[in-house]
Structure 1
Amino acid sequence: MREWVDHVIWWHVYPLGFGGGVRRLTGWLDYAVELGVNGLQLGPIFASETHGYDTTDHFRIDPRLGDDADFDALIAACQERGLQVMLDGVFNHVGRSFQAPEHWFKLTPSGERAVFEGHGSLVELNHDEPEVLDYVVRVMDHWLGRGATAWRLDVAYGVPPAFWKAAVDRVRQNRPEAWFTGEIIQGDYVTFLRESGLDSITQYELWKAIWSSLNDGNFYELAWALKRNNEVLEAGLPLTFVGNHDVTRIASKLTDERHLGHALAVLFTVGGVPSIYYGDEQSFQGVKEDREGGDDAVRPAFPESRDSLAPYGWPTFHLHQRLISVRRRHPWLVRARTTAEQLTNTAVALVSADGDCRLVTLLNVGDEPQRFVVDGSEIEVPGHEWRIAGE
């Protein structure tokens, strides 16, 4: 029913930062295809007060991005190129000017509207209210009917799993091809997947372990996270990433730029559905800060055309192409279980397998060469380099 999920690799774009609205984004689809992806993951595109996560109307395209005709043109262009489209569903909270009956909102003991994590501009919806459930179902079904095929559910962790289960069960009755991933930052991923009925969660544990293990020279942390990821794969397909709209860019997060390839090699050779945050494929820098406007640096504008991209980013673009091609040759990796073997603090052989299929990724962040034994043969990986055995 949803075989496309096993093959999708997302290019994740934050449209309100990208610049130029939906029309400019449409002009970058050939670039995305050249990169090797076959899915467009969009940040918020619906009418909102400021940054998109303070929605005012889930049925209307944000006027800063365009209108319905622009959205339809984007969908048509994606379908022409074989690109799936994922939308960002912000259903935990809305902007203060969102128009709805008062019983749609969660209230504090004092009778005031509850706000999301201290953000006064974001008021929380009441997920015990059947009318809210009906509304969310209508929104998701509407845009799936307009050509989207997947939803990222923002702050899924803040909504009762039973609410998601009821919502997606109803949506799937008419849209069996749809795929749903929930934003979960920490906690029991497996239990949440099983109770919510979602297909996927955002794999923040693995994200953290990738850059942290590389920075600290501690592959034991990565080994632990991969063991946890194997457990998640028993319940669903995690959305894997090394960057997104809410975190410092991987090129800025790594303390040694020589280890960018290591991070990407892990991303593309372990189980899950990979997502590439726009600009990461060009080595964009950007540090998230805990302040008003602190996300701006990681949600930048893209230029008018590819000719305006800096020359220093293209080697990273080509590295992405190379690793995506590995993924294409081994599509079974989406469900692979990965174990860490020949493990030391600074070197590891990651063995990814599914049935009779097997791939070995060799990582070395030490200063000295590291010798690995793979299928009886010795492979030497120089200091601060990586290899995929047999590729």
Structure 2
Amino acid sequence: MPSWAEHAIWWHVYPLGFTGAPATAAGAPVTHRLRHLESWLDYAAELGCTGLQLGPIFASESHGYDTVDHFRIDPRLGDDRDFDSLVARAGDRGLRVVLDGVFNHVGRSFQAGERWFRRGPGGYEVFEGHHGLVALDHAEPAVRAHVAGVLDHWLARGASGWRLDAAYAVPARFWREVLPGVRARHPEAWFGGEMIHGDYAAYVTESGLDSVTQYELWKAIWSSLNDRNLFELAWALDRHDRLLDTFVPLTFVGNHDVTRLATRLDDPRHLGHALAVLFTVAGLPSVYYGDERAFQGLKEERAGGDDAIRPAFPAEPGGLAASGAETYLLHRRLIGLRRRHPWLHRARTTAEHLTNTAVALRSRPAPGSGPAGEEVVTLLNLGDRPHRFPGLREVPPHAWEIVEEK
């Protein structure tokens, strides 16, 4: 992993939704909506983030994951000049830009020879039953050359890395063949993959990726809070710590594919508990745009079911409702804590004084990765009564506190 990534905290944005782009690209003229993001760069920097993790920005048929041209900015978002401007202005604020690479499948109108696509008894194979998403054949040398060319092209234009969509559906050996040449030309580039299930550590080892998404921890955070079962969280954190022997996962409590945290939690008083866990355990954390303002949004399995979690943002931060200010300030506080303790990137966390509704999470630097003696202790109380943590302090009902020790 490049050294800069050890300090990465992403503001994750889905550009087509954020900028209010039309739902389909058919007949859409070039409209410079990507510039809309430039008005939010100071906001991301002031939040404490160090980079933008962008959703799809390349020419596609509709939602961006049905790519038709990996070398062209989606006309609904603009053109190369808009991309160059965004990267330059982000860089002026110390923000890196990571792009979303959709290389497991493409849109139906993607132009390539038949050998590029996997075929089954009924014709072209598709991704998870979606007729409009045609699966690429990753055993085909032309596909490997194409993907390497796309990665090279946008890294050369200023991107710092890639989030590789649906990596779990791509053979690990494909990345093992593609990435070494790209890394040789761009040694500071970072590559993370989307993994929803499977053996995370084995995939990282076999693929050569730097990281993959930690969906297991994401689920445990909100589920343990809703069920008042912090044993589930402790179990997930134990597994999380074991992953650190191989890689540092991408951690999150919200993204473009899931119901928003503020909607998912049964008790809104526990929102801070989830964020305290995210920012005091190891990982590469990201904040999905709007979550820092406690946006609501339910994902539904239907056409248009993602619209509620991929909303448009106003022209500038002043257009946001004041009701989200408290959650924004909480994010700033916790991100500030994390940046004061950069060793949290690889921290080892143990669950102590554990009950169904109370836990003390003690995070310490991994051996050789931080100052000896430092620790951060996160106290969570989900109960209806104050809880006394022995040797520490009493925490009010449905509250949380963080203790920093040196």
TM surpasses 0.5: yes
Moved more, 341-350 or 303-312: 303-312
Conserved in 2, the CA contact under 8 Å of 1:372 and 1:379?
yes
Please name the residue that 2:106 is paired with: 94
Query: Pick from 367, 371, 374: which aligns with 2:388?
Result: 371
Please name the residue that 2:26 is paired with: none
The reply to whether residue 106 of structure 1 matches residue 118 of structure 2 is: yes
Taking every aligned residue pair, what percent have the same amino acid on both sides?
66
- Deviation of the 1:378 alpha carbon: 3.1
Deviations 1:233-270 (A, max 9, x none): 11111110000000000000000000000000000000
The reply to whether residue 335 of structure 1 matches residue 360 of structure 2 is: no
Letter in 2 for 1:71: F
Conserved in 2, the CA contact under 8 Å of 1:168 and 1:197?
yes
Letter in 1 for 2:376: L
The DSSP-based 3-state class of the residue aligned with 1:31 is helix
Moved more, 167-176 or 352-361: 352-361
The reply to whether residue 142 of structure 1 matches residue 156 of structure 2 is: no
TM-score, length basis structure 1? 0.98
Conserved in 1, the CA contact under 8 Å of 2:168 and 2:198?
no
Please name the residue that 2:30 is paired with: none
Conserved in 1, the CA contact under 8 Å of 2:375 and 2:404?
no
Please name the residue that 1:132 is paired with: 143
- Deviation of the 1:167 alpha carbon: 1.3
In 2: Cα distance, 1:181 partner to 1:338 partner: 23
Letter in 1 for 2:9: I
- Deviation of the 1:390 alpha carbon: 3.0
The reply to whether residue 380 of structure 1 matches residue 391 of structure 2 is: no
Moved over 6 A (4+): none
Aligned residues: 387
Conserved in 2, the CA contact under 8 Å of 1:54 and 1:95?
yes
Letter in 2 for 1:80: D
In 2: Cα distance, 1:282 partner to 1:378 partner: 31
Letter in 2 for 1:384: H
1:170-319 equivalences under 5 Å are 170-319=181-330
The DSSP-based 3-state class of the residue aligned with 2:100 is strand
Moved more, 229-238 or 200-209: 229-238
In 1: Cα distance, 2:404 partner to 2:102 partner: 43
Please name the residue that 2:14 is paired with: 14
Please name the residue that 2:29 is paired with: none
Unaligned 5+ residue runs, structure 1? none
Deviations 1:101-131 (A, max 9, x none): 1000000134x11111100000000000011
- Deviation of the 1:358 alpha carbon: 1.7
Letter in 1 for 2:115: H
In 1: Cα distance, 2:351 partner to 2:392 partner: 17
Moved more, 156-165 or 353-362: 353-362
Unaligned 5+ residue runs, structure 2? 21-32
Letter in 2 for 1:235: T
The DSSP-based 3-state class of the residue aligned with 2:94 is coil
TM-score, length basis structure 2? 0.94
